[in-house]
Structure 1
Amino acid sequence: MQPVPPTTPPQDLPAAALSTGAVARRLGVSPTTLRSWERRYAIGPARREDGRHRRWTAQDIARLELMCRLTAQGVPPAEAARAAQDTAPAAPAVREDAGRAPGGPNSLPLGEVRPECRGLARAAVRLDAPAVEELLDAALAEHGLVTAWEEVIAPTLHAVGRKWASAGERYVEVEHLLSWYVSSALRRIRTAPGQPHTPPVLLACVPGELHSLPMEALAAALGERGLPVRMFGPALPADALHEAVRRTGPRAVVLWSQSRTTADRPLVRSVAGIEWGLRGARGHSAVLLAGPGWASGPQDPRTERLFGLRSGVDLIAALAAAGTTPPATGAVRAAPAAYGS
């Protein structure tokens, strides 16, 4: 058995006892896992309301957190449970630095975030795929797609990216696992029926750009509103993009660029200049630029910047209702929000 690391008090636990669901979100495990641990290893809450409802105290949660750390290091669950029970951590005090993620050097730099975000990060670091999947589905069901993306999913993706950038080749597996399950969760979102014969919205990453999750989130959010989407994913070649615009006659074309190296301004101007439709009734698509890669450079004619998922969906919905001419710059714009990975 591996040595038991010293118990450090959790940094974000309230004094009041919590439900199983709340504890699961904070620790990044599924409620089913907590109930399984209680049944198999007797590592459960000391308190129940009305003999049925579990209520986890600070001491209970401290034991669970130690068990999570041990299992993340490869200790078998039965041994981790015994070690957590034998340690019997004292009740942690609520600290002023509650925004800092506990967990030592393997934790992700999250800052002030929702508890669900912290739990999702812990599950991702442990490579606990079932917990990641369940936590994503719970966040989407509870908060809705846009809020879950901007306040839970995107902050966790950003934290994984920062950790990977600062740790060399480590944590790439965490990023890949989390990205896969985020993508899967987004594709499970039900599309609402839309108006027939409505021009679609074309979504694509510019050539050389492989980060497609933000476009997948936008596709899912537009689908929820019944707006037709043509999603082309990462690194769409320029010729294929031009052909897709001509063939579909889209209401808008959204181009994602994650970095300045992929932000192709000549491509934007060429797409904005494409005409489609029958002779005598030609039309142009609005071109919307999304992603941090477009942060620098002049504003191109007939283009608009998107700064967040919520405001981006609102702007596209306005275009769909009003026609293909973009509103005046800034007319449907919010403060920059989490809209990328």
Structure 2
Amino acid sequence: MTYTPRAVAAMLGIAPTTLRTWDQRYGLGPSLRSEGGHRRYEDSDVELLRRMVALTAQGVAPAAAAELARRPRAHRLPRPVSPLTDDMARDARRGFLASAKRLDEPMMLDLAGKLVTEHGVVAAWNSVFLPCLGDIGEMIARIGSGVEVEHVASAAVLQALRTVPRSSRMGVLAALLSTAPEEQHVLPLEALGASLSEQDCLWRSLGARVPSRALCDAVVLLRPAVTLVWAHRADLAAGVPLEELNARSDTLLAVAGPGWAGLSLPDFVRRPATLTAAIELVLAHSDV
């Protein structure tokens, strides 16, 4: 694929004059010219310009941004983690649930923090946190009480996830994470964000109950490589403006959570079924 300057300017949300200036001043121009001498941009040219847009949006001066955009990307190596065996996971679940039922926050924080540090976010989430939170939810439904247990347990997991250092490098935002309008469950998005941080990926979360207009505006402003929207019920998922998001940005749209199960989705929307699949989707479409 090749693109005209006007098409590239529209894709990146910048003025054609800006594109021309960056070509003349910093050499961020097209690789090809047509037989008639017209400029034509390749995908690699567009990606270089996308990094330029991201860097200048972060406040980097254009000359410095152009130099950074051209540099080969050096990333933090993923932190080595030890395997979480079935026996270890079973003992961790037992300890975490017992601490949760006692509202023993210090013990839960200690257990959750060690799991993330020693075994990584994905293993801790899939093998311990998610099953434990599911068991607590079933307990509440069965006996009609215990919401306080769920709240303290969720807070402990959240704090552990937020101990993972965020990437400090500059570049295109790999993922924008958002809930559907009126959706209040954000913990799965925090798990995805922490997992992306382990991969030195740039991401941002809009938190809970994100209005449709706010989500659209954020996507246009931030231009993430991937936008992922979480919903745990179908009625909440129905409020996400997928068509408008697709029309206003070239971000790859993805959805996650049980709220999307069984819904008919447009062809341009991806639906990763697991945390690992969501991570792989973002990594495949980012500059990592």
Equivalent residue for 2:275, pick from 304, 309, 316: 309
- The letter for the 1-side match of 2:133 is L
Task: Give the alignment partner of residue 144 of structure 1, picking from 109, 113, 120.
Answer: 120
Mapping 1:119-268, distance limit 5 Å: 119-168=95-144, 170-194=145-169, 196-264=170-238, 267-268=241-242
Q: 1:136 to 1:263 in 2, by over 3 A?
A: same
Deviations 1:32-76 (A, max 9, x none): xxxxxxxxxxxxxxxxxxxxxxxxxxxxxxxxxxxxxxxxxxxxx
Deviation at 1:312, TM superposition (A): 1.1
Separation of aligned partners in 2, 1:153 and 1:137:
11
139 and 272 in structure 1: CA distance in 2 versus 1, 3 angstrom threshold: same
| 192 and 321 in structure 1: CA distance in 2 versus 1, 3 angstrom threshold | closer
Q: Spell out the pairing of 1:33-44 with structure 2 (5 A cutoff).
A: none
1:288-299 → structure 2 map (5 Å cutoff) = 288-299=254-265
Aligned counterparts of 1:232 and 1:289: Cα–Cα separation in 2: 15
Gaps of 5+ in 2: 1-85
* SS of residue in 2 equivalent to 1:288: strand
Output the CA distance in 2 between the equivalents of 1:222 and 1:136. 18
CA distance in 2, matches of 1:156, 1:272: 36
Q: How many residues align?
A: 202
Letter in structure 1 aligned against 2:230 = W
> AA paired with 2:190?
E
Q: Give 1:4's aligned residue.
A: none
Identical aligned pairs, as a percentage?
32
- Give the aligned residue type for 1:138: K
Q: Conserved in 2, the CA contact under 8 Å of 1:127 and 1:174? A: yes
Q: Distance in 1 between matches of 2:174 and 2:272?
A: 18
1:116 equivalent to 2:92? Answer yes
CA contact (8 A) 2:180 2:239 kept: no
Q: How far apart, in 2, do the equivalents of 1:178 and 1:207 lie?
A: 25
Q: How does 1:76-95 map to 2 (within 5 A)?
A: none
Task: Write the distance in 1 (CA, Å) between the matches of 2:166 and 2:171.
Answer: 16
Deviation at 1:191, TM superposition (A): 2.3
Per the normalisation by structure 2, the TM-score is 0.66
For structure 1, the residue ranges without an aligned partner over 5 or more in a row are 1-98, 100-112, 276-283, 323-341
Larger Rg, first or second structure (1 or 2)? 1
Relative to the length of structure 1, the TM-score reads: 0.56
Deviation, 1:266, is 5.7
Which amino acid letter does the alignment assign opposite residue 289 of structure 1?
Answer: V
Aligned-CA RMSD value? 1.9
Q: What is the Cα deviation at residue 151 of structure 1? A: 0.5
Alignment of 1:29-108 (within 5 A): none
Amino acid in the other structure paired with 1:240: A
Runs of 4+ in structure 1 off by over 4 angstroms are none
Name the aligned partner's letter for residue 234 of structure 1: A
Q: How far apart are the structure 2 equivalents of 1:161 and 1:118?
A: 16
**Shift of residue 209 of structure 1?**
0.4
Q: Give the Cα–Cα distance (whole angstroms) in 1 for the partners of residues 133 and 219 of structure 2.
A: 31
Give how far 1:246 is off. 0.7
| Structure 2 match to 1:327 | none
Partner SS for 2:241:
helix
CA deviations over 1:119-176 (Å, ceiling 9, x no partner)? 10111011111110111012112211110011011110111111112222x1100000
Aligned residue type for 2:166: T
Shift of 1:321: 4.3
- 8 Å Cα contact 1:200-1:249 kept in structure 2: no
Report the Cα distance in structure 2 between the residues aligned to 1:118 and 1:316, rounded to whole angstroms. 33
Cα 1:139–1:301 shift into 2, 3 Å: same
Displacement of 1:200? 3.5
Q: Which has the higher contact order (CA 8 A, sep 6+)?
A: 2
